[in-house]
Amino acid sequence: MSAIFLGALDQTIVAVSMPAISAQFADVELLAWVISGYMVAMTIATPIYGKLGDLFGRRRMILIGMGLFTVASLFCGLAQSMEQLVLARILQGIGAGGMVSVSQAIIGDVVPPRERGKYQGYFSSMYAAASVAGPVLGGLMTEYLSWRWVFWLNLPLGLGAWLFIRRTLAGLRTPQRQARIDYLGTVLLIVGLGAVLLAITDVGQGQAWHSSPVIAQFASGVLALAVFAWHERRTAEPILPPRLFADRSAVLCWVTIFFTSFQAISMSALAPLRFQSVTGGGADSAALFLLPLAFGLPIGAFFGGRHTARSGRFKPVILSGALLVPVGVLGMAFTPISNLWLSCLFMLLTGIACGLQFPTSLVGAQNAAEPKDIGVSTSTTNLFRSLGGAMGVALMSALLLALLGAEPAQGLSEAGRGNLLLQSLAAANAPAGGGRAQLAGVFQELFWISAGLSLLGLAAALAMPDRLLRGRT
């Protein structure tokens, strides 16, 4: 859980430090990549760590991931330019990919499927704790110490976790089979996912989807992934075994977690932005406004995991969450931001709905895998979760920019519309009176679209087989 917390914390704690980082380095163009570089690297590294964990043992891989994460945190704190900081963040993301995916796979090694829901619920609570603690710690450290302490905080935490894991996992089983690494598949996966994610990130930051760089990135990424899929069917030790995708239950669990992450991550970005833009409130008020969504995630994960462990079935919990997501998002769309209590209630409902699905989808995917494929099945689940979050933020950001361009709010500058990542600009540029009413209408349309997209996740949950989990009865 310490590995999960550290990996998730670094996705949230840095955001509030970005204005201070930009002011020190006087560089706005690369600022977005302080966060995007971390998430892209983490997403790409996740499936690779999963396969390497199956081949070389998960204790070794989680120690490598946490060690790289901790050393990269030191480099982040010592960075003397924006370029150095972005490179260090990419290294940090590579380490975090191992921490998150391997730690969840370890649960698959030591806990039977029927009991895993409870433990995955504990992991989800770490994500929620990080989303709450991150902005608060980041704000305090940036205000009273320096933005560099946001990264140096990881040094004692990472070292302590590394020593604890090294001692407690000493008896974890190590694979006895001869390791054969698919080097070509690894390169193709890195190139394919990297190009697609870079294109998605560029679109989310305001680049036109039909621009030449975006089209070139998408085309090269899709081509590399197509060659990767062809290659994986012919190699002896594939990174992502095609047999995993032959199981309908596992594939539908991955589709479900993709759309669940799409909603959870995009709402985590849009809800505070909506609050700041429409009310003119500051970043501190927006962070408090986000708390119901963050608290809902562990509540849903806890009760979903407990019910799954008792009943031995994961579909009812996933389906319940998938039914509640469009209700919660539509409720946020129709509730004016001035009605804080009702808005918070629907945000809490959305968080609970997503929390019901996150750990249970992972348990369902692990249940469909053979014991030798637990690591790669877990990392594939985390890959779809990361892809859903990245695509959710990028697509909804691009739609927001398109809606603002089609119906521009009076007095809102191009900077306020075009730079979605710097949310403080949205509050600073937010117009008064009728302009804010227009913005409220734009966000309402955006939430309608989001609710419609959530129906795709509901369709996947409805089509999912109702299987019994292996393990104790």
Q: pTM (2 decimals)? A: 0.75
Residue that the structure tokens 């790289």 belong to: 68
* pLDDT score recorded for residue 137: 73
CATH topology of domain 2-181+237-463: Growth Hormone; Chain: A; (1.20.1250)
- The burial of 411, by beta-carbon neighbours within 10 Å (0-12 exposed, 13-18 middle, 19 or more buried), is given as middle
- CA torsion angle for 244, 247, 251, 256 (degrees, to 10)? -130
CA–CA separation, 109 and 374 (whole Å): 7
| Half-sphere exposure at residue 310, Cβ-oriented, CA atoms within 13 angstroms | 8
CA–CA separation, 379 and 373 (whole Å): 10
Residue that the structure tokens 């809800």 belong to: 271
C-alpha gyration radius of the chain:
21
Q: Cβ distance 184 to 229 under 8 Å?
A: no
Residue whose C-alpha is closest to residue 253's, from 115, 128, 407, 113: 113
* pLDDT score recorded for residue 430: 45
* pLDDT score recorded for residue 382: 79
Structure tokens at 23: 């002011």
CA–CA separation, 444 and 394 (whole Å): 18
CA–CA separation, 402 and 272 (whole Å): 19
CA–CA separation, 332 and 328 (whole Å): 6
CA–CA separation, 97 and 100 (whole Å): 6
- Amino acid letter, residue 234: R
Residue whose C-alpha is closest to residue 225's, from 255, 201, 195: 195
Output the CA angle 119-124-125, nearest 5 degrees: 95
Structure tokens at 228: 């990767």
CA–CA separation, 378 and 391 (whole Å): 20
* pLDDT score recorded for residue 178: 61
* pLDDT score recorded for residue 149: 86
What is the mean pLDDT for each group of 10 consecutive residues in the chain (473 residues)?
Answer: 67 68 71 73 80 78 89 91 88 85 71 60 64 67 80 87 81 63 82 82 73 88 91 82 85 92 83 76 66 82 82 90 94 88 91 88 82 75 82 78 60 41 41 62 88 93 84 50
DSSP 31: T
Structure tokens at 147: 């933005």
User: Which are the contacts of 33, defined by CB distance < 8 A and separation ≥ 6?
Assistant: 86, 89
Structure tokens at 138: 């980041």
Q: Cβ distance 33 to 84 under 8 Å?
A: no
Spell out the domain ranges in the chain: 2-181+237-463, 182-236
User: Which are the contacts of 366, defined by CB distance < 8 A and separation ≥ 6?
Assistant: 108, 113, 116, 374, 377, 378, 381
Residue 433 DSSP SS3: coil
Residue whose C-alpha is closest to residue 320's, from 303, 298, 344, 342: 303
